[in-house]
Chain A
Amino acid sequence: AQSVTQLDSQVPVFEEAPVELRCNYSSSVSVYLFWYVQYPNQGLQLLLKYLSGSTLVKGINGFEAEFNKSQTSFHLRKPSVHISDTAEYFCAVSHTGTASKLTFGTGTRLQVTL
C-alpha cells in the first residue's frame, strides 16, 4: 500500500515571497509522483509530475519540485508567489504499473496575501 503525507494543512505567505509545500510518501515499490492544484469549486489541474530521470522537475506557473528518494519526499517550491497562486495543492503518488491508482495527500491550502 502507498500513502502520502502533507504535513502543512495551511501555508500563509506574502506575495513575492518564496514558498515550499511539503510532501512525503510511503511505498514499498517504485512510484510516480504528482502535484495538482485545485481552485475553488473546480477540478484538479496538473502542476508537474515525476516519472523518472532528473529529480528536479519543472512545472507550470513557475513551480518546481525535487524528488528525494532517500527522504521519500517530493516538496513543491516556487521562488516568488502571486495572489493568483492562492489555492489548494495536492500531492499524489501512484505505483509505476499501468493500471495504478492515484493516492492523494490531504492537501495544503496556500494563502497568498499582500
Chain B
Amino acid sequence: GAVVSQHPSRVICKSGTSVKIECRSLDFQATTMFWYRQFPKQSLMLMATSNEGSKATYEQGVEKDKFLINHASLTLSTLTVTSAHPEDSSFYICSARGRAISYNEQFFGPGTRLTVL
C-alpha cells in the first residue's frame, strides 16, 4: 500500500517551453503533497507544500510563477515548470501524506528527471 507514482519519469525539453509533471497517490487519499528538487549528489530541497483544494505554500526562494503547483484532487498534484531554462534541469520528486495512513509519514514518488536544452 501507499504507492505514489510520477509521470513522466524523464523529460527533455527546449529552453522556453513549459513542462508538466504529475504526481499521483495510487491507493490512498493524499491530503498533503510535497514537491522536492534534488541536484546531482545533493539532498532534497523542499520547494512547496500543497493541500487538496487550496493554494500551495512555497518555500523561501522558490518562484511561484515559475513553478506552478496544482492539487485539484485527493490523488493528483501537478508541477508545471513554466518557460524552462537549463538551470531548471534537475530531479524532481514528489511525496504524499494521507490522514488515514501512517501518521506523519511521507510516501515518495520515483522522481522525474528534467533536462532543459
Contact = CB atoms under 8 A, between A and B. Distances in A.
A100 interface: yes
User: Which size bracket describes the interface of B in this complex?
Assistant: 20 to 34
A102 B110 contact: no
Contacts, number: 48
B104 A100 contact: yes
Interface residues of A, number: 24
A104 B36 CA distance: 11
Interface in B81-109: 91, 93, 95, 103-109
Contact of A43 (B43, B49, B103, B108): B108
A32 interface: yes
A51 interface: yes
B46 A102 contact: yes
Given A32-B104, A43-B93, A94-B104, A99 B32 contact: yes
Classify the secondary structure of B's interface with A. Answer: strand
Contacts of B105: 34, 46, 49
A90 B43 contact: yes
Interface string A99-114: 1111111110000000
Contacts of B106: 102
Contacts of B54: none
A104 B43 CA distance: 7
Interface of B: 4, 6, 32, 34, 41-44, 46, 49, 91, 93, 95, 103-111, 113
7 contacts: A34-B105, A43-B4, A44-B44, A44-B108, A96-B104, A98-B104, A107-B43
